[in-house]
Amino acid sequence: MKVEVFPLAQSGPDDLSGLINLIETGRLDPKTIVAILGKTEGNGCVNDFTRGFAVATLQAYLRPLIGDAATEQIVFVMSGGTEGVLSPHMTVFTRQSEGLTGPTQPGLALGVCHTRDFAVEEIGTLTMVQVVAEGVKGAIAAAGLACEDVHFVQIKCPLITASRQGRGAITQDSYKSMAYSRGASALGVALALGEIQPAELRAEDICANYDLYSTVASTSAGVELRNCEILVLGNAAESHSDCCIGHSVMAHALDAGAIHRAIASAQGAGGGDRIVNIFAKAEADPTGRVLGHRHTMLDDSDISHTRMARAVVGAVIAATVQNPMVYVSGGSEHQGPPGGGPIAVICKRG
């Protein structure tokens, strides 16, 4: 497998100029695209339509090039919210499996999966956990990885809107449904990777028992889909990729040390000095304190705490690596310890 990663700056959610240039100059074959992660400049909440706008724009461009079926197989993960210094961009992942020659080396491998659509009453429940866990296992198998080789699992998951509420829904609050969906999806990752055991997990633990979490899960909820789209990233012993991935876990929003540990992890796996992109989760610490000091992110009725957390963590990462074009997603329920979150780094040789 040969995996390539292309971070592309965007002037807006519908700006495909960077992608079009790569394709028209022959540097990227659109038939090899398997996943596109984006940071769009909406509010990252329920009514952030920049996510769906970005996906629709990409699909409309790619369908004439690669066909409907191939376009539907691509994992599109758009994370809304570029607060603070975060710079809007997309990261395109390609995978080539045939016609490869030359020696192999340790390098990046990936697998993807699309789950079935979820009924409204399944979102945020144990059923969702189990379906996601099976999807993650399938993506790991498609990547040819073992669980210990996995460094990052990105999932786009659905939410509950007012028009889609049902009797058995876990909540009637659309915004809260984002947290339940993210949390259940993250627990599915933890279950698939053996980070938690089935006997440890009860329905009432979802978005309640934060001692249960994954160290590599990153989940993002949106109104633009009804299933889960899963991207698994890890390192294979025999790869044709020039990239490697590593990860760490931020213990809190200001944990710059975790950034350095994630970089060292990627470089230690065989990656070079060039950072391709950084992917992190952000959350306002539910205790209301950061490093022993009170914060007010959870008490502000004007601005969502997920937006504030993205701005803080985005600034910490950008300042550390001197690049604001990084992927930071808000809301880290069961994704790392409370107040923290997983962080992954892709580095490239040469």
Question: Which residue of the set 137, 156, 281, 348 is catalytic?
Answer: 156
Q: What 3 state SS string does the chain have?
A: CEEEEEEEECCCCCCCHHHHHHHHCCCCCHHHEEEEEEEECCCCCCCCCHHHHHHHHHHHHHHHHHCHHHHHHCEEEEEECCCCCCCCEEEEEEEECCCCCCCCEEEEEEEEEECCCCCHHHCCCHHHHHHHHHHHHHHHHHHCCCHHHEEEEEEEEECCCHHHCCCCCCCCCHHHHHHHHHHHHHHHHHHHCCCCCHHHCCHHHCCCCCCCCECCEEEEEECCCCCCEEEEEEEEEEECCCEEEEEEEECCCCCHHHHHHHHHHHHHCCCCCEEEEEEEEECCCCCCEECCEECCHHHCCCCCHHHHHHHHHHHHHHHHHCCCCCEEEECCCCECCCCCEEEEEEEECC
Q: How far apart are CA 174 and CA 15, in angstroms?
A: 29
Angle at 108 between CA 215 and CA 152, to 5 degrees: 15
Is 156 among the catalytic positions? yes
**Cβ within 8 Å of residue 296, ≥6 positions away:** none
The alpha carbon dihedral of 296, 205, 328, 63 has a sign of: negative
State yes or no: is 329 an active-site residue. no
Residue 35 near residue 94, CB atoms below 8 Å: no
Counting every residue, how long is the chain? 350
- Which member of 174, 214, 218, 220 is catalytic? 220
- Which residues participate in catalysis according to the annotation? 156, 220
